[in-house]
Amino acid sequence: MKRILSYLVARVVLTIPMLFVLLTLVFVVLRVMPGDPVSAMLGGHAPQSVIDAKKEALGLNKPLFAQYIDYLGQLARFDLGRSMILNENVITPILEKLPATIELTFSGLIVTLLVGIPLGVRAARRRRTGGDSAIRFFANITYCIPVYWMGLMLQMFFGVFLNVFPIAGRIGMRIDSSEFDRTGFYILDTLMKGKFLEFGDVLWHLALPSITLGLTLSGVFIRLTRANMLDSLKSDFVLATRARGVAENLVVYRHALKNALIPIVTMLGLQFSALLAGAILTETTFSWPGMGRLLLERIYLRDYPVIQGVIIIYALFVSLVSLLVDIVYAAIDPRVKL
Amino acid sequence: MTDSTDGRKDQAGAAAWSPAGLAAKAIGAFSKAAKRYRMEWWILVAGLIIIGTIVFMTIFPGIFTKFSPVDQNAGPQMVAPSAAHLMGTDNLGRDIWARVVYGSQTILGVAIAASLLSAAIGIPLGLISGFAGNWADKVLSLIMDSIYSFPGLILAIAFAAMLGPGVINITMAVSVVYIPTYFRLVRGQTLQIKEEPYVEASRAIGAKKKTILGRYIFPNVIATVVVVFSLNIADSIMTEAALSYIGLGLPAGIPDWGMDLSMGKKFLPSGMWWMITFPGMMIMTLALGFTMLGEGLAEILNPRLQEY
């Protein structure tokens, strides 16, 4: 237990330099580039005195380095600061939008795994047959389909032509989300309040976005599962299991797949940032009120603190998932000692 | 072969260089290669055909369409695909096929330029970092790993938004994302290669660092870089299109597939399927071409993979 704890602490400490690099990069890029929140807020025709006063109030007239030090000091106190455009703390809109992004990301991940792993196993079992080629072709195609285009096409078929799925938003217009909006995770909120009709509506809205996100990433997992299953199926322990007369399905799913899962878990961590990137585009396509949309909105307003805040949260999210992946990895592979 | 008294030899040589002889030779080499590499080879060729066709389209757009991509009087507004307008027209009456043809110039240009730029920055940094291996290596690796582990698109969005619309700006925004890819690849390879006996030997005979890097390490790194470069172009294509899809890429007036998609999105509820289908299909096809080229190359250059 002590070992696990010290490992966790070391891992968490290691993410600090990464956050620091990203922060510095974004901080500098935001301020070196043309455009600033004051002119975005007041428009181009405000008198110079008003602009200067506003800049002074926001601390934008200080030298860049002083602003940077101020910002780091603020962060050290776990304070993301206040928005420069709206009268709110940076964390307020982030906490409001984060659940939507997490819901979308994780349901996308589930779709990815549900499509990727079974198809990969199937392709490996039927190696060099028509089925194998078809699955590999599908994997290659999904890899090259832009996630936003996949979203648009699904919207067109299922939303417009067949009219069976909604194409925008997290919940129907006629449902009052304030009735159950507690954690912001609509799946949990509706279930906790026992509102099953609303729960169904949430899932119904979630369907197309998560299929969009999940399918486009499934190709990577199909290929990885296939490659690892091929190795695994050839190994001695599988031969031994077969020799003991264990049923073939059990050999494949219980024994071979379990060993092939280890690199898949690693890949999960690596692909998570791709998933987040895909989520931003999916949010745009499906008018999903998540972090990606928040980022884009505030970028147009040049709201530096919120942009920085969103980037920090994304980076934390990525590090957290890679930490989780490491723990799961150690849990499923007895050879790894923490 | 300069011996002119041997007439028959000359004749044979001449025959080999005639067009028919060349073609026969090419077919021979091709079928030999096809037999040797099977599937991988066909993937590579298919990729090359896709890329070749689209490159041809960017160079000679006039052959493919008589319309201008910005001509708002090309036809009636929002008509479905027909003989007159192969892919229909958009909400402003512009011909979508013409926009697809001319749009290929933008996306291909940006993707290739961005990949070249990332390679031009990432490769030297990776070489130096891997070769030097001191504190500079540690600092560079930390920076590159941080960027690498972060969702690239978000970084590209931040850069593109701050730089503002423009072909050069979007190229820079896309290239930032992929610098770490080259850096990590080249650094890893350099670390490996610098322990090889031939590098040690060159060092032993007093070769300068520049010579060792340029003549012994770099040529050995470049083979894998080629594969990654091709896959990288495929990625850049999708990133470029994504940036212009969310409205961060290019000023209006430059035909671009991503921008056409976002335009089509507005008219999707009214069932204008052609406005989104064709630009998206082109993005996918172009990315597929470069992916196939890269995968084919990877498997041909690394025969160990063929077992799978």
Check if A143 contacts B (Cβ < 8 Å). Answer: yes
* Residue A237 or residue A185, greater confidence: A237
* Residue A287 or residue A1, greater confidence: A287
Q: Is residue A7 part of a domain?
A: yes
Q: Is residue A271 part of a domain?
A: yes
Check if A160 contacts B (Cβ < 8 Å). Answer: yes
**Reported ipTM:** 0.83
Task: Kindly state the average pLDDT of the residues A18-45.
Answer: 74
- State residue B12's pLDDT score: 45
Cβ-Cβ contacts under 8 Å, B269 against chain A: 160, 167
Number of domains into which chain A is organized: 2
Q: Please check the confidence at residue B209 and state whether its pLDDT lies above 80.
A: yes
**Is A151 in the same domain as A284?**
yes
**Is A100 in the same domain as A65?**
no
CA of B8 to nearest chain A CA: how many angstroms apart?
A: 49
Residue that terminates a domain, selected from A44, A76, A108:
A76
**Which has the closest alpha carbon to B111: A146, A270, A140?**
A146
- State residue B304's pLDDT score: 52
CB contact under 8 A, A318 and B150: yes
| Helix (H), strand (E) counts: chain B | 13, 0
**Which has the closest alpha carbon to B177: B231, B114, B224?**
B114
Interface test with A, best of B50, B157, B181, B267 (most A CBs within 10 A): B157
**Is A112 in the same domain as A206?**
yes
Helix (H, G, I), strand (E, B) or coil at B274: helix
Tens digits of per-residue pLDDT, B233-285?
999 999 999 999 988 878 877 888 888 888 888 888 887 888 888 889 999 99
Write down the pTM of the prediction. Answer: 0.83
Tens digits of per-residue pLDDT, A140-152?
888 889 999 999 9
Rounded percentage of chain A residues whose pLDDT exceeds 70: 91
Tens digits of per-residue pLDDT, A78-98?
777 778 777 788 888 888 888
Helix (H, G, I), strand (E, B) or coil at A140: helix
**Is A103 in the same domain as A167?**
yes
The mean pLDDT of chain B is 82
Q: Is residue A88 part of a domain?
A: no
- State residue B30's pLDDT score: 66
Q: Which residues 97-126 of A are in CB contact (within 8 Å) with B?
A: none
Task: Kindly state the average pLDDT of the residues A188-209.
Answer: 79
Task: Kindly state the average pLDDT of the residues A117-131.
Answer: 86
Name the region of A87 (left: φ>0; alpha: ψ -120 to 50; beta: rest).
Answer: beta
CB contact under 8 A, A33 and B265: no
**Is A163 in the same domain as A296?**
yes
Distance, in Å, from the CA atom of A268 to the CA atom of B158, rounded to the nearest integer, reads 25
**Is A60 in the same domain as A126?**
no
B/e letters for B21-56, b = 16+ CB within 10 Å, e = fewer, are: eeeeeeeeeeeeeeeebeebbebbbebeebbeebbe
**Is A302 in the same domain as A187?**
yes
Q: Please check the confidence at residue A23 and state whether its pLDDT lies above 90.
A: no
**Is A289 in the same domain as A250?**
yes
**Is A111 in the same domain as A194?**
yes
Among A165-179, B63-77, B177-191, the range with the most confident prediction by mean pLDDT is B177-191
Q: Is residue A89 part of a domain?
A: no
- A34 band by pLDDT with thresholds 50, 70 and 90: low
The CATH number for A133's domain is 1.10.3720.10
Q: Domain of A281?
A: 94-332
Q: Is residue A178 part of a domain?
A: yes
Residue that terminates a domain, selected from A76, A102, A131:
A76
Interface test with A, best of B150, B270, B293, B295 (most A CBs within 10 A): B150
Q: What is the CA radius of gyration of chain A?
A: 24
Q: Please check the confidence at residue B83 and state whether its pLDDT lies above 80.
A: no
**Is A179 in the same domain as A56?**
no
Q: Is residue A85 part of a domain?
A: no
Residue matched to tokens 């958009």: B90
Residue that terminates a domain, selected from A76, A109, A126:
A76
Q: Which residues 283-302 of A are in CB contact (within 8 Å) with B?
A: 284-285, 295-296, 299-300
Distance, in Å, from the CA atom of B200 to the CA atom of A49, rounded to the nearest integer, reads 67
**Is A186 in the same domain as A42?**
no
**Is A46 in the same domain as A190?**
no
Tens digits of per-residue pLDDT, B152-163?
888 888 888 878
